[in-house]
């Protein structure tokens, strides 16, 4: 009797799973890989002018509820670059991954002050230096090292306490002087499939 | 998707023909489902059911016959506590329904899930103790390494597919005898919504490396994972 129930229930579970896959949909924000030919010409022109030695980047389209943007990702001289453009192909910012020891001393101190007692170096998960400004200023910065009109900030992923004291993963934007401008909690996709 | 099914079928057939010759081998269907209830930010309870039906067995009463035989059903519950956003410990209880081999188990687990630039890497360390009527206590030590790779973009978003590759060696000690098992799993998954995942997998298990009777099992799995 038990065997019969188990056999029937396994068939039901199977069809239930298949039907769930066919009908369930919930897409709000997505990042999609796109081909270079789908990217606005302005974005490609800016990228190849600013990074003349760059190898062919990987292009992504980020889709939000209110619109979309483009992002080019590539590795240059051992560093990972991420360059964001709006939907028209206008440059927004350039982010470069760096190590903690490459952070200016003021920013290191600011981050340590912010994280206070529970701070461990392993709590810093990812650091990107972010450059933004007018397209021409940014291009001059990357190909001629001109600092004019460039705003430098640091985007840092770190483990820190939330308002209840519980430890969470955050993305914080820090100023050139090391003060926190804003932070948001990073919502992770569940990983039960990897752990259970 | 068609390529995935064709490749899976070819892998299945080649494994069946190569291993069914001179070793104990069986294969079948293995649905599993896990429900996760988040109690607080850092605590959750997981209930999981795994069910295995044999379609083909090269030994036993129905040797070499196509069949639909219930093998086992496992019910388990875990209490999971986050040490930080990437590391957790868990304690679990487990009950197995299997003809002549019903069993109970207690489980202790440490897991770390790291987000790398384009994938997730998960380490899982487990110890467990299994109590089966008439058998000595079985103590096991397990380590599973799993990686999840998004197939669209560098992050996994709702509606997108992903691959999971995992391998888990299991070391056991029962009645003074040492044994090793290995589980290799290849999965294609879909993040249906931000809290739901569906996976189709091939799960290839080998055991009795030390004792007599080397055995292989190949399962076609369908897994559903839901958090609320």
Q: How far is A181 from chain B (nearest CA, A)?
A: 23
Is A193 a domain residue? no
Q: What is the pLDDT of residue A162?
A: 80
| Residue A193 to residue B148, Cβ atoms within 8 A | yes
Looking at residues B76-101, what average pLDDT do you find? 95
Residues A176 and A103 in one domain: yes
Residues A128 and A74 in one domain: no
Angstrom distance (rounded) from CA A171 to CA B69 = 51
| Parallel/antiparallel/unpaired status of strands B177-193 and A167-174 | unpaired
Q: What is the pLDDT of residue B4?
A: 60
Segments forming the whole domain that contains residue A28: 24-91
Angstrom distance (rounded) from CA B92 to CA A148 = 59
**Nearest Cα residue in chain A from B38:** A190
Which residue bears the tokens 């955050």?
A: A170
Q: How far is A34 from chain B (nearest CA, A)?
A: 9
Record the pTM: 0.82
Residues A140 and A156 in one domain: yes
Residues A182 and A105 in one domain: yes
Give which of B5, B31, B95 to mutate to test A binding, by max A Cβ within 10 Å: B31
Q: What is the pLDDT of residue A7?
A: 60
Residues A133 and A171 in one domain: yes
Nearest partner of A189 among B49, B185, B119, B124, judged by Cα: B119
Report yes or no: A107 and A178 within 8 Å, Cβ to Cβ: yes
Tokens of B114: 């790291």
Which residue bears the tokens 């021409």?
A: A136
| Residue B148 to residue A167, Cβ atoms within 8 A | no
Q: What are the C-alpha distances in Å from B14 to residues A30, B47, B52, B219? A: 38, 35, 21, 14
Q: What is the pLDDT of residue B40?
A: 83
Q: How far is A3 from chain B (nearest CA, A)?
A: 6
Residues A80 and A104 in one domain: no
Q: How far is B209 from chain A (nearest CA, A)?
A: 25
Residues A79 and A105 in one domain: no
- Please report residues of A whose CB lies closer than 8 A to that of B192: 20-21, 24-26
Angstrom distance (rounded) from CA B162 to CA B223 = 14
Report yes or no: A195 and B88 within 8 Å, Cβ to Cβ: yes
Residues A48 and A104 in one domain: no
| Residue A7 to residue B53, Cβ atoms within 8 A | yes
Report yes or no: A57 and A76 within 8 Å, Cβ to Cβ: no
Q: In this structure, what are the phi and psi dihedrals at residue B97, rounded to the nearest 5 degrees?
A: -110, 110
Residues B70-101 as b/e (b if ≥16 CB within 10 A, e otherwise) read bbbbbebebebebebbbebebebebebbeeee
Query: Going edge to edge, which strands form the sheet with A67-76?
Result: A30-34, A58-64, A67-76, A79-85, A91-98, A124-132, A151-161, A167-174, A180-185
Q: Kindly provide the ipTM of the predicted complex, given to two decimals.
A: 0.87
**Nearest Cα residue in chain B from A159:** B85
Percent of chain B residues topping a pLDDT of 70: 90
| Residue A196 to residue B78, Cβ atoms within 8 A | yes
Lowest mean pLDDT among A30-39, B86-95, B171-180: A30-39
Q: How far, rounded to the nearest angstrom, does the alpha carbon of residue A19 sit from its chain's CA centroid?
A: 33
Q: What is the pLDDT of residue A42?
A: 94
Q: What is the CATH number of the domain that holds B223?
A: 2.40.128
Residues A144 and A168 in one domain: yes
Per the model's pLDDT, the better-predicted residue between B28 and B154 turns out to be B28
Q: What is the pLDDT of residue A143?
A: 81
Q: Looking at the 3D structure of chain B, how many domains does it have?
A: 1
Number of residues that this document lists for chain B? 228
Residues A87 and A162 in one domain: no
First to last CA, chain A: 30
Instruction: Tell which of A66, A91, A116 closes a domain.
Output: A91
| Residue A195 to residue B70, Cβ atoms within 8 A | no
**Nearest Cα residue in chain B from A16:** B224
- Please report residues of A whose CB lies closer than 8 A to that of B85: 159, 167-169, 188
Nearest partner of A62 among A84, A30, A91, A94, judged by Cα: A30
Cβ atoms < 10 Å from Cβ of B107: 19
| Residue B193 to residue A24, Cβ atoms within 8 A | yes
Average pLDDT, chain B: 91
Residues A114 and A40 in one domain: no
Report yes or no: B77 and B107 within 8 Å, Cβ to Cβ: no
- pLDDT of residue B206 exceeding 80, the answer is yes
In this complex, the residue of A27, A164, A195 whose CB is nearest that of residue B113 is A195
Q: How far is B1 from chain A (nearest CA, A)?
A: 14
Q: What is the pLDDT of residue A28?
A: 46
Q: What is the CATH number of the domain that holds A135?
A: 3.10.450
Instruction: Tell which of A60, A91, A122 closes a domain.
Output: A91
**Nearest Cα residue in chain A from B162:** A193
Give which of A25, A118, A128, A191 to mutate to test B binding, by max B Cβ within 10 Å: A191
Is A4 a domain residue? no
Angstrom distance (rounded) from CA A125 to CA B47 = 31
- pLDDT of residue B219 exceeding 80, the answer is yes
Angstrom distance (rounded) from CA B161 to CA B203 = 19
DSSP secondary structure string, B42-106? Answer: TEEEEEEEEEEEEEEESSSTTTT-EEEEEEEEEEEEEEEEEEETTEEEEEEEEEEE-TT--EEEE
Q: What is the pLDDT of residue A25?
A: 44
Q: Which residues of chain A have pLDDT under 70?
A: 1-29, 53-54, 116-122
Q: What is the pLDDT of residue A24?
A: 45
Is A1 a domain residue? no
Q: How far is A68 from chain B (nearest CA, A)?
A: 14
- pLDDT of residue B195 exceeding 60, the answer is yes
| Residue A191 to residue B148, Cβ atoms within 8 A | yes
**Nearest Cα residue in chain A from B89:** A195
Number of residues that this document lists for chain A? 196
Residue A154 burial (C-beta neighbours within 10 Å; 0-12, 13-18, 19+): buried
Is A19 a domain residue? no
Segments forming the whole domain that contains residue B129: 2-227
In this complex, the residue of A7, A28, A193 whose CB is nearest that of residue B164 is A193
Q: Looking at the 3D structure of chain A, how many domains does it have?
A: 2
Is A17 a domain residue? no
Report yes or no: B210 and B178 within 8 Å, Cβ to Cβ: yes
Kind and range of the H or E element at B161?
strand B161-174
């Amino acid at each position: 009797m038990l065997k019969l129930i188990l056999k029937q229930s396994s068939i039901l579970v199977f069809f239930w799973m298949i039907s769930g896959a066919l009908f369930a949909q919930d897409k709000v924000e997505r990042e999609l890989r796109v081909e270079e030919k789908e990217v606005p010409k302005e974005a490609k022109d800016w990228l190849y002018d600013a990074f003349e030695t760059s190898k062919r980047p990987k292009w992504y389209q980020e889709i939000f509820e209110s619109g979309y943007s483009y992002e080019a990702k590539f590795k240059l001289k051992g560093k990972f670059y991420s360059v964001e453009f709006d939907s028209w192909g206008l440059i927004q910012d350039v982010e470069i991954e760096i190590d903690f020891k490459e952070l200016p001393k003021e920013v290191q101190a600011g981050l340590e002050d912010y994280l206070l007692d529970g701070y461990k170096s392993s709590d810093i998960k990812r650091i990107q230096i972010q450059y933004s400004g007018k397209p021409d200023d940014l291009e001059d910065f990357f190909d001629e090292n001109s600092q004019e009109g460039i705003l430098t900030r640091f985007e840092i992923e770190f483990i820190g306490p939330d308002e209840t004291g519980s430890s969470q993963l955050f993305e914080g934007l820090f100023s050139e002087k090391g003060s926190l401008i804003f932070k948001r909690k990073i919502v992770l996709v569940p990983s039960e499939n990897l752990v259970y | 998707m068609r390529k995935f099914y064709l490749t899976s079928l070819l892998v299945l057939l080649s494994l069946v023909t190569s291993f069914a010759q001179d070793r104990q081998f069986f294969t079948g269907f293995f649905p599993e489902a896990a429900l996760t209830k988040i109690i607080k930010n850092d605590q959750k309870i997981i209930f999981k059911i795994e069910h295995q039906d044999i379609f083909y067995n090269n030994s036993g009463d129905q040797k070499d016959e196509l069949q639909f035989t219930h093998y086992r059903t496992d019910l388990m519950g875990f209490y999971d506590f986050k040490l930080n956003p990437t590391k957790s410990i868990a304690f679990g209880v487990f009950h197995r329904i299997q003809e002549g081999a019903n069993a109970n188990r207690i489980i202790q687990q440490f897991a770390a899930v790291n987000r790398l630039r384009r994938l997730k890497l998960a380490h899982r360390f487990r110890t467990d103790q299994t109590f089966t009527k008439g058998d000595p206590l079985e103590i096991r030590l397990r380590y599973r390494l799993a990686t999840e790779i998004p197939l669209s973009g560098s992050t996994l978003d709702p509606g997108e597919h992903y691959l999971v590759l995992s391998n888990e060696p299991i070391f056991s000690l029962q009645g003074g005898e040492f044994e090793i098992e290995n589980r290799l799993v290849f999965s294609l998954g879909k993040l249906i919504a931000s809290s739901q995942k569906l996976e189709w997998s091939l799960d290839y298990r080998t055991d009795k490396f030390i004792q007599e009777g080397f055995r292989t099992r190949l399962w076609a799995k369908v897994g559903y994972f839901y958090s609320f």
